[in-house]
Structure 1
Amino acid sequence: MRNKFYAAVWRVLRPLVLFFLPVELRGTENLKEGEGPYLLCANHSNLWDPVLFVLSMPQAFNVRIMAKKQLFSIPVLGGFLRAIGVFPVDRGHSDIGAVKTAIQSLRDGWNLFLFPEGTRVKNPGHAEVKSGAGMMAIRAGVKLVPVFIGTKKRLFRRTPIIIGAPFAPEYTGRKGTAEEYTANAREVMRRAYALGGIECE
């Protein structure tokens, strides 16, 4: 499903970035082939988080990423992000278009990687979790996967990226409720932080 441009960028950036910011990737056995796609939900503390995740995963791992729309207004960068499959979301409003793109991507077989807290968090485990992840997983009929990304990035020091066990969101009825969306989003983040030994408030 990946295009040639993405493959070329991945091959160039992977050895360069991971040389300076190496990663200790654990838990990939939880992403069983043929059982996805998955909605991967991670904590967010640094601009490098999505870059390190994508480059640490195999090139063949089909994943799309949501990113704040402001990045797409930056010359060159916006076009680059779109070319590698990233799509924008307006974090300050109910971005129906981004939600539809996310759900359709999951239904089309893409894994989706996002940060349910919506922004970088300085105090891990103590930020508000948005309900979107729970809603998308329920509407698309996919499992949620907690991912913990180490919060301290240091040159030549390994940053742990730990992928937890997938779990099905819990909900009632055909589409669930707003409360259930929030509860599932909070649960996946509770599990993500627990992978790093952090207890949520």
Structure 2
Amino acid sequence: MKPFNRLFVFIYYAAGLLADILHPVSVEGVERLPKNGALLCPNHSSNWDPILVALKLPKNYRLHIMAKEELFKNPLLGWLLRKVGAFPVSRGNNDINTVRTAMQAIKDGDNLLIFPEGTVVRNGVGYIDGLPAHAKAGVAMIGVRTGAALVPVFVDGEKKLFHRTRIIFGEPYEPHYTGRRGTSEEMQKIADDVLAAAYALGGQAVGGKPL
């Protein structure tokens, strides 16, 4: 992503103005963010989430977003998404190229946004592979193998037009694992812990229910 090209700047400010009107946002904890090599891990309750989070980061914060492939089927939208650093992921499939793209973004010194739940979870109701929504271990695997700083991020669940939404960036989470890459169980625990930390920033348990 080239954050200072003209198209990016135009989209950043135009989309930011529209988003501020439709979904005004209060932000906490931006000062906690690493300048580079960060893996942002928000809870996911709305298709607005990646847009709102991205627009509340500094303009020069080199961010890539792992977005569902359906969004790229529209030629114009797909082109715009790629221009601002997004890339598609095929949900439910073992997409090796997507994982490589995600890891390369971190290795290049950029930052990456991934939703650990992998799907939108509204009011505690959501399913992944037929089970209640939970964190997917892939986010931990990418973080561990790249040495990224895993940053929990809370985004308010219910989005109402013209009502304020909170976004809270937490302290980077330090993963603990054995060996160079850890076990699959350790990766799952890291992913679960990061997701739990994201919800806890907003005073909620995983799935959006109050603590």
The bucket for the TM-score relative to the shorter chain is over 0.9
1:95 aligned residue? 95
1:171 aligned residue? 177
1:14 aligned residue? 16
Structure 1-normalised TM-score?
0.93
Kindly state the Cα deviation for residue 87 of structure 1 after the two structures are TM-superposed. 0.4
- Structure 2 Cα separation of the partners of residues 32 and 129 of structure 1: 23
Matched, 1:159 2:172: no
- Structure 2 Cα separation of the partners of residues 16 and 25 of structure 1: 17
Residue pair 1:24, 1:160 contacting (<8 A) in 2 also: yes
1:186 corresponds to which of 185, 192, 197: 192
Deviations 1:107-131 (A, max 9, x none): 1011111111000002439612111
1:61 aligned residue? 61
- Structure 2 Cα separation of the partners of residues 56 and 107 of structure 1: 23
Unaligned runs of 5+ in 1: none
Identity of aligned residues (%): 45
Kindly state the Cα deviation for residue 7 of structure 1 after the two structures are TM-superposed. 1.6
Aligned residues: 199
Kindly state the Cα deviation for residue 6 of structure 1 after the two structures are TM-superposed. 1.3
Matched, 1:2 2:3: yes
Matched, 1:133 2:139: yes
Kindly state the Cα deviation for residue 3 of structure 1 after the two structures are TM-superposed. 4.5
Structure 2-normalised TM-score?
0.89
1:47 aligned residue? 47
Kindly state the Cα deviation for residue 67 of structure 1 after the two structures are TM-superposed. 0.6
1:28 aligned residue? 30
> What CA RMSD, in Å, does the superposition of the two structures yield over aligned residues?
1.5
1:119 aligned residue? 119
Kindly state the Cα deviation for residue 32 of structure 1 after the two structures are TM-superposed. 4.1
Which letter does structure 2 place at the counterpart of 1:100?
Answer: R
Displaced runs of 4 or more, over 6 A: none
SS at match of 2:46: coil
SS at match of 1:54: helix
Deviations 1:128-149 (A, max 9, x none): 2111110000000112100000
2:128 aligned residue? none
Which letter does structure 2 place at the counterpart of 1:2?
Answer: P
Deviations 1:139-187 (A, max 9, x none): 0011210000001212221100000000222111111121111111110
- Structure 2 Cα separation of the partners of residues 62 and 15 of structure 1: 20
- Structure 1 Cα separation of the partners of residues 109 and 124 of structure 2: 31
Which letter does structure 1 place at the counterpart of 2:33?
Answer: L
SS at match of 2:194: helix
